């Protein structure tokens, strides 16, 4: 509903409410906005990365399940977040065009959509994947909507919790493929976890006035120096993490070399932001963070394919040697007349 005014002579003004009903086609667009569809798509892609890099080949049904279920769970968490933060989003230039701020649907409608999407997503993950994946999906909704959204109003620790939430989807993909979690899954989660600090801290630096107006406790608002230091520390942490990833069995040893080149440049940009925190260095760090994951996962995929190829060749040679030995031993046996 929206407020309208109408003059009725002299200085009298009557205020009344006009009911606004969204058409089915409009609802689809509204639901996509409420789900933050672009962000949710990125979340799904990180889950698919965990599924793809798992040495255990998952089924097509599990692939479809983790894609659909993750999209629904992420959309549910984002929808609940927007309903809860509507009064504060209205004070931010970055968020004032969101669905709940513009009153395109009611809060009850938004919460209902979130509950239905979250329930469906968890059920899809449970029945098409496994209970572990469903538990991770449900935990992600609760952490993001129930804890992280509230923490943003009180403490800068929300950034660390938010990074944990963002790092869970690769584990969901990994669990969907094999039903278990191991060091490979933790490595995938670690990449996303550490990456989020330079990505978000650089972004929040240039819109810290918005966060300040809305009353959010972000590092870029409370302590600019800490914001830059945390970005640098976590970017640097990606160097040793990526260097040891081949030991988890999900990529070839050549990935260590290529990842060092990418992470060294990423750390260089974070160092510039730490040394001179301003709009330019923040923008450069943020822009590279957008292409960082595609580049790194591209090298990871190349290493994964090369590892599979060399492993297949090694098995082929071993089987060939065994057959040769078997043939020689059979021909060396004495014959009886």
List pLDDT tens digits, range 15-70. Answer: 455 666 677 778 999 999 999 999 999 999 999 999 999 999 889 999 999 999 99
Tokens of 194: 């550490």
Q: Are 19 and 2 in contact, with CB atoms under 8 Å apart?
A: no
- ∠118-123-129 over CA atoms, to 5°? 120
From the number of C-beta atoms within 10 Å of its C-beta (0-12, 13-18, 19+), residue 310 rates as exposed
Q: What is the pLDDT of residue 287?
A: 97
Helix (H) or strand (E) holding 14: strand 13-18
Tell me the longest C-alpha to C-alpha distance in the chain.
129
Q: What is the pLDDT of residue 324?
A: 53
In whole angstroms, give the CA distance from residue 107 to residue 44.
26
Determine contact, residues 270/205, Cβ cutoff 8 Å. Answer: no
Mean pLDDT over 110-138 rounds to: 97
Confidence of residue 323 (pLDDT cuts 50, 70, 90): very low
Residue given tokens 């089915």 in the structure block = 24
pLDDT of residue 334: 52
* Residue 155 structure tokens: 């403490």
Report whether pLDDT(210) > 60. yes
pLDDT tens per residue across span 211-261:
999 999 999 999 999 999 999 999 999 999 999 999 998 888 999 999 999
| Cβ contact 34:60 at 8 Å | no
Place of tokens 């040679």: 317
Number of neighbours of residue 55 by Cβ within 10 angstroms: 15
- Measure CA 266 to chain center: 19
What is the reported pLDDT for 299? 94
Tokens of 118: 């979250």
pLDDT band with cut points at 50, 70 and 90 for residue 307: confident
pLDDT attached to residue 23 = 73
Average pLDDT over residues 144-158: 95
Report the pLDDT value the prediction gives residue 85, as an integer from 0 to 100: 94
310 closest CA partner among 258, 252, 255? 252
CB atoms within 10 A of CB 45: 17
Between 86 and 319, the higher pLDDT residue = 86
CB 266 within 8 A of CB 238: yes
Phi–psi pair at 125, nearest 5 degrees: -65, -35
- In DSSP terms, 7 is beta-bridged to 13
Task: Look over the chain and give the mean of its residue pLDDT values, rounded to a whole number.
Answer: 88
Quote the pLDDT of residue 249. Answer: 87
- On the question of pLDDT at 326 being above 50, the answer is no
Say how many CA atoms lie within 13 Å of 31 toward its Cβ: 17
Phi then psi for residue 110, to 5 deg, are -65, -45
CA distance 138 to 259: 33
Residue 310, pLDDT above cutoff 70: no
Between 27-31, 104-108, 220-224, 330-334, the lowest mean confidence (pLDDT) is in 330-334
Whether 316 has a pLDDT exceeding 70, the answer reads: no
> Taking residues 267-279, what's their average pLDDT?
97
Mean pLDDT across 75-103: 93
Q: Which two tokens mark 143? A: 């952490």
């Amino acid at each position: 509903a929206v407020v309208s005014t109408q003059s009725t002579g002299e200085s009298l003004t009557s205020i009344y409410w006009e009911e606004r009903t969204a058409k089915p086609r409009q609802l689809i667009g509204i639901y996509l906005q409420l789900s933050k569809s672009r962000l949710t798509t990125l979340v799904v892609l990180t889950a698919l990365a965990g599924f793809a890099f798992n040495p255990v080949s998952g089924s097509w049904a599990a692939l479809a399940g983790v894609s659909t279920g993750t999209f629904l769970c992420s959309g549910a968490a984002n929808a609940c977040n927007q309903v809860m933060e509507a009064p504060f989003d209205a004070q931010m230039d970055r968020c004032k065009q969101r669905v709940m701020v513009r009153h395109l649907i009611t809060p009850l409608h938004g919460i209902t959509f979130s509950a239905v999407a979250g329930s469906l997503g968890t059920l899809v993950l449970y029945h098409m994947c496994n209970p572990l994946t469903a538990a991770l999906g449900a935990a992600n909704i609760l952490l993001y909507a129930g804890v992280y959204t509230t923490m943003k109003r009180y403490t800068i620790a929300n950034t660390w919790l938010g990074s944990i939430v963002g790092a869970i989807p690769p584990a969901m993909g990994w669990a969907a493929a094999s039903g278990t979690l191991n060091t490979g899954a933790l490595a995938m989660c670690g990449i996303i976890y550490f990456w989020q600090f330079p990505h978000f801290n650089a972004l929040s630096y240039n819109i810290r006035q918005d966060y300040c107006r809305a009353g959010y406790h972000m590092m870029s608002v409370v302590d600019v120096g800490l914001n830059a230091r945390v970005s640098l520390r976590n970017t640097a942490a990606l160097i040793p993490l990526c260097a040891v990833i081949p030991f988890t069995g999900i990529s070839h040893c050549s990935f260590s070399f290529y990842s060092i080149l990418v992470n060294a440049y990423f750390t260089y940009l974070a160092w510039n932001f730490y040394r001179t925190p301003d709009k330019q260095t923040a923008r450069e760090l943020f822009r590279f963070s957008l292409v960082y994951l595609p580049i790194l996962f591209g090298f990871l995929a190349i290493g994964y394919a090369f590892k599979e190829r060399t492993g297949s060749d090694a098995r082929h040679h071993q089987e060939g040697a065994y057959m040769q030995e078997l043939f020689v031993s059979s021909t060396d046996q004495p014959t009886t007349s």
